[in-house]
Chains A and B, each alone.
Chain A
Amino acid sequence: MIYLTVACLTFGLKSSRETTLRKRMEHNYADFFTETDGNNTPIFIIDADSKITTKEQQPITVFNYSLAEDNACLKIYADRRILTIHHTASGNCFSIECGTVSENNITVYKSDLAAQSVAPPHNILDHLLLFALSMSGLHHNMLLIHASSTVYNDKAMMFLGESGTGKSTHSRMWLENISGTTLLNDDAPAVRLLSDGTVRTYGTPWSGKTPCYMNTSYPLEAFVRIKRAQYNRLTRQDTIHAFGAVLPSCLPTLQQDETTLDPLCNILSSILANVPVYVMECLPNGNAARVCCNGLFEYKQ
């Protein structure tokens, strides 16, 4: 069994091809491999040698989306959901089924990741594991957010925006212009509301094109939605706009039906009661980072 711990949540990946999988995952999961000592029970286990059978039952909802060159399809049934990714280059399909099956009180998700003649491509393995953790995370006050996250003054900031709006660029402006800034994650950091009311941001094995796989966490200072403009201006958002600014950066796969949208909204609502949200209208320049930093930290250059 491969054990992984992301955002202080441990989960398992079971396969007869464990050695091959582990080697394949080394690149971005190395810092997240753990051993269970019996104290940290995994929140779920993926049985990667399973067969996924789509029974003749009609799904309630089908959600198709694209994943770079590949196509993904989420089928939602009353008691389970199946995410299938069709790998365009090889013609293979890889699936995971998140349902209510459990063994010894541990939830088991079935997957055919390791049950095929070819090894799963990295992006597909990543996406299926990310989906599994995002599903289970709903029971642990954890959300994965499409964001670029930097750390300054021991506090994390999460920069949000649709692909191409300049999240990563804004992070880079911080790294190049504000000394003491470090990158935590560049694509899918996790955020958790802890039992004492604090909110923390966690690095994950999923960081887009930037190899930044940090198994560390920091208190979350603010969410900042990035919008392109001809000037640099930071504006605090009221409750409604804050929610509207962050929700689109949560996983679309969790927003297709109420079973997942309800807990997602509840977690986000509690997080936003503790963390401010800003909109940063900005140019892709160093001054944008200084204006943002000044606004968030009243920082003097």
Chain B
Amino acid sequence: MKIKHGYKIRNIAGENVIVAIGKLNVNLTKVISLNPTSVWLWEKLGNEEFDAVKISELLVSNYNVDRDTAIADAEAWISSLRKAELLEE
């Protein structure tokens, strides 16, 4: 899977957000807030393909976190992105 093309992180009044505009219906506009770790992952991954293992490795190598926690966090992160329809599977 990878992050859908065409989204970029915007700074809105001090918060990092993704603005996802509904293509056919303005009701579908979504604003997704990213915490600093998400911003870091988002920028690190860019256009690359990834899975939960790859993300957990990134987390382990950059944050003080054990492998099991990292896998759980990675899965939770992927599921949030999927829910926000920001993934290309």
A interface list, Cβ under 8 A from B: 162, 239-240, 242-244, 247-248, 252, 255-256, 258, 261, 265, 268-269, 272-273
Interface pair A162/B19, CB less than 8 Å apart: no
Verify if B64 is at the interface (C-beta below 8 Å from A). no
A248-B19 CB under 8 A given contacts A239-B12, A239-B13, A265-B10: no
Interface pair A240/B17, CB less than 8 Å apart: yes
Minimum distance in angstroms from B5 CB to a CB of chain A: 12
Residue tally, chain B, CB below 8 Å to A: 16
The answer, among A162, A247, A258, A273, for a CB contact under 8 Å with B13, is A273
Separation of A261 and B26 alpha carbons in the complex (Å) = 14
Q: What are 10 pairs between A and B in contact, CB < 8 Å?
A: A239-B12, A239-B14, A242-B13, A243-B12, A247-B19, A247-B31, A248-B29, A252-B26, A272-B12, A272-B13
Verify if B11 is at the interface (C-beta below 8 Å from A). yes
Q: A239-B13, A268-B12 are in contact. List 16 more A-B contacts (CB 8 A).
A: A162-B27, A239-B15, A240-B12, A240-B15, A240-B17, A243-B13, A244-B30, A244-B31, A248-B26, A252-B26, A255-B26, A256-B21, A258-B8, A261-B19, A272-B12, A272-B13
Minimum distance in angstroms from A58 CB to a CB of chain B: 18
Interface SS, A side:
helix
Minimum distance in angstroms from B28 CB to a CB of chain A: 9
B interface list, Cβ under 8 A from A: 8, 10-15, 17, 19, 21, 26-27, 29-31, 33
Separation of A243 and B15 alpha carbons in the complex (Å) = 10
Chain A contacts for B26, CB-based, 8 A: 162, 248, 252, 255
Interface SS, B side:
strand
Minimum distance in angstroms from A75 CB to a CB of chain B: 15
Interface pair B27/A248, CB less than 8 Å apart: yes
Chain B contacts for A269, CB-based, 8 A: 10-13
Closest chain B residue to A258, Cβ basis = B8
Chain B contacts for A243, CB-based, 8 A: 12-13, 15, 17, 31
Closest chain A residue to B11, Cβ basis = A269
Question: In this complex, which of B10, B12, B33 has the most chain A Cβ atoms within 10 angstroms of its Cβ?
Answer: B12
Chain A contacts for B10, CB-based, 8 A: 265, 269
Chain A contacts for B27, CB-based, 8 A: 162, 248
A247-B33 CB under 8 A given contacts A255-B21, A272-B13, A273-B13: no
Minimum distance in angstroms from A272 CB to a CB of chain B: 6
